[in-house]
Amino acid sequence: MIRITPHISIGEAEVREEFIRSSGPGGQNVNKVATAVQLRFDAAASPSLSEEIRRRLVDLAGPSRSTAEGEIVIAASRYRSQRRNREDAMERLVGLIRRAAARPKPRRRTRPTRASKQRRLSSKRRRSQIKHLRGERPDEE
């Protein structure tokens, strides 16, 4: 089990790993060894996540990291070793799910104060006056 939060954990069977050749650093090793990791997590079919978290997760992942079927794909090729790329991808997936699990704070509508309205209007009047004074003067010819 992969612990996400104290209340959420996903099974290791829900995460699939695929190793591919990396385009990053590594010299000749890059051409021989598949060190990059592509992590796939099927969020749409995961029994560990609620519908609300699932929806936020797909939204957070965006079109670049999620498929139309609701699968999250994370590619990691930052490091030269397969193990470190695997850990990096897993950390990024866990971080993404944690962010999705945090319920966003609802926005409270506010009104500008009377003083802030007056400050805004007086600065607009000042600016208008400066621009007005730049214009041509009829008495100068």
pLDDT digits (tens, 9 = 90+) for 86-103: 899 989 988 988 888 888
6-10 own/partner pairs: CB under 8 Å, 24+ apart:
8/48, 8/49, 8/53, 8/97, 8/101, 9/48, 10/41, 10/46, 10/48, 10/49, 10/97
pLDDT band at 26 (very low <50, low <70, confident <90, very high): low
Percent of the chain with pLDDT over 70: 93
pLDDT band at 3 (very low <50, low <70, confident <90, very high): confident
- Residue 141's pLDDT is what? 56
Provide the residue ranges of all domains of the chain, joining segments of one domain with +.
2-101
Token pair for 76: 């990691």
Architecture of domain 2-101: 2-Layer Sandwich (3.30)
**pTM of the entire predicted model:** 0.67
Q: Which residue has the higher pLDDT, 35 or 73?
A: 73
Torsion of CA 120, 125, 131, 136, to 10 degrees: 170
